[in-house]
Structure formats: C-alpha cells, structure tokens
Structure 1
Amino acid sequence: MSWHMAHMAGMGLLVAVAAPAVTILLARFAPGADRWAVPAWAALPGFVLLHAAVTVWPDHRDHMPMGPSPHDAVPALVLLAGAVAFWAPVLGVRRRLPDAGRTLYLFTAMPLLDLAGVYRVASGDQAGGLSMIVGMLPMGLAMVVITWNWIGSEERRAALAETPAGADR
C-alpha cells in the first residue's frame, strides 16, 4: 500500500514540481527549444486527457503493491513530456500567456487535473487518489504566486497612470 501511495504522490509531484522546473530550465538555457510549444488552447485539454489516460487507465493497482517495475518509467516519462508542454504557456518563452491568461489557465487546470484523483477515490483507491491530489498541491502555490504577481503589476501600472505627468518621484 505504501509503495502505491508514494507512486501516486510522485506522479502528482512530477506534474506540479518536476515539469515546471524542466520548463524553466529549458526557457533559460535552451530558449529555442520551445519551438515545439503548442498554444494554450491545445495544451490544456491535451494534457488533461493525457493525465487522465496515464493516471486512470490502465489501472496501476494490480502491480503497485509489489513495488516498482521497469515498465513504470514509460508512463512517468510520457506524463513528464506532456506536463512540460502543459507548463510552456505559463513558464515558457515563445507562447507564454499574459499574466491574466496564465492565472486563468492554472485556475482552470487545477480542478480538471484533480478529476483523475477524484475518480481514483470514487473507484475505491482512496489512498492513491488522495496521494496524487496532495502531490499536485504545489501547482496551487504556483497559481497563487502568479496571481499575486499579476495583481502587483496591475497595481503598479494603475499607480503610474494616476501620477501627474510633471510630478517628482
């Protein structure tokens, strides 16, 4: 049971921590690498479907209690690649959304991605589903940080617009 919980939490952390880190590293050290980035309108539904396919079907509970197996790496790598494409509109360079769009994108994505965990809980895998949802909590933190930065930049922009043209600063 504990291996299964760790695996499901790891899948959540892969999406919420590892993929954003890879996306940031690619944007910083290989800015041309995001030529492959898909637009947000395709990345979000595509990743939601991929995430559900990897985490819900096929049902991993049959081999999880025995521990890791070599074929567990394939779904994880597929999920990581899809998650990097998912994060590109938020953290990438070429097709990066504006601040309001990034906030809306993540506010929309979080409940949709949690549906796979909810399904696992409803189908009797409470430990696995809840572990996956908890593993994805860092995405909520990223959403809060991006939203807070957007609010701060809007406040600065409004303050600059209210400053008289000839006033000293």
Structure 2
Amino acid sequence: MAGMGLLVSVVAPLLAVALRPAGVLDRVAPPAVLALPGFAVLHAAVTVGTHGLPPLSAASTAAHLLMLAGAVLFWWPVFGGRRLSEPRQVLYLFTAAPVLDLAGVWVVARGDGAGGLAMIVGMLPLALVAMGVTWRWIVREEEQAAAL
C-alpha cells in the first residue's frame, strides 16, 4: 500500500516533470477541473479493486499501471506544460490530499490498518508539494509587493 501512495505522490510527478519538455501531454491532458475528480475516482477504483489481490498478479499490475498514467495526468496541471496559476495549484493540491486519502481510510475500515496507514503515509509527498507551492506563492507575492 505504501508503494501505491509513492507511485502517485513521487513517481507520477517525476514523470510529469520529465515529460514536460516534450509537451506530449499538453493536447491530451484534461483540464484540472476534470483531472482531479477523474483521478480520485480512478484511485479509489484501483484501491478497492486490487485490495486483496496478490501484488504481482497481472490484474494488479495492469491496474497500477493505469493508475500511474492517471496520476501523471493528475499532476500535469501542477508540473506540466499547461500549469495552473500558483493560487489555483494550492487549491488543487490541498483539495486533492484529503480526497485521495479516502481510499486509505477505506482500506483501514476494511480491517487492514497497517496497509491503509502505509498508503496514507505514502501520500505525504503530495502534501509536501502543496506546502512548497504555497511557500513559493507567498514568497513571490512578497517580492512583488516589495518591488512596488
């Protein structure tokens, strides 16, 4: 479960950053208003659908690869070529964090406390990115105010 969280919160944003120069996703990536709810549904479906499956089964692997692709599209409004403004990135990420943690809560409720908590902890980098974007926005606003 921690691997699932890290796949979404570390591997996917790194892939989005790596793909940005090529601009390959600019035309196919959905707008943020669709990316967040779409990925939240995909994330929940993969979490619920693969819970209890052997980790390296074909179905589990395919579902996790699909989730990785969805996660890259989820991160595109933050790290991709068509980025949201900093205030919108802050709103996007701070809205996404608790929504994506709901799947981990479901895992805990199903009796897998360790797995659910590992998944939630694996998603902490998302909150760190949200705090970093917030800090960058605050610093930029301060610099602009000082320049005036």
Q: TM-score, normalising length from structure 2?
A: 0.95
The residue that corresponds to 1:165 in the other structure is none
Q: Secondary structure at the match of 2:6?
A: helix
Take 2:129 and 2:45, find their aligned partners in 1: how far apart are those partners?
24
Take 2:59 and 2:101, find their aligned partners in 1: how far apart are those partners?
24
Going from structure 1 to structure 2, the CA distance change for 1:24 and 1:105 (only over 3 Å counts) comes to: same
Query: Which blocks of at least 5 consecutive residues in structure 1 are unaligned?
Result: 1-7, 162-169
CA contact (8 A) 1:117 1:133 kept: yes
Take 1:145 and 1:83, find their aligned partners in 2: how far apart are those partners?
19
Take 1:51 and 1:20, find their aligned partners in 2: how far apart are those partners?
15
CA contact (8 A) 2:4 2:122 kept: yes
The letter of the residue matching 1:27 is R
CA contact (8 A) 1:26 1:34 kept: no
CA-to-partner distance for each residue in 1:55-109, whole Å, 9 max, x for gaps?
Answer: 11x2522x34xx5323321011100010011001111112x10000000000000
Larger radius of gyration between Structure 1 and Structure 2: 1
1:41-120 matches, within 5 Å, as 41-56=33-48, 58-61=49-52, 63-64=53-54, 68-94=56-82, 96-120=83-107
Percent sequence identity is 56
Q: Secondary structure at the match of 2:92?
A: helix
Query: Which blocks of at least 5 consecutive residues in structure 2 are unaligned?
Result: none
**Which of residues 12, 16, 22 is equivalent to 1:23?**
16
Q: Which runs of 4+ in 1 moved over 3 A?
A: none
The letter of the residue matching 2:13 is P
What is the alpha-carbon root mean square deviation over aligned residues?
A: 1.2
Q: TM-score, normalising length from structure 1?
A: 0.83
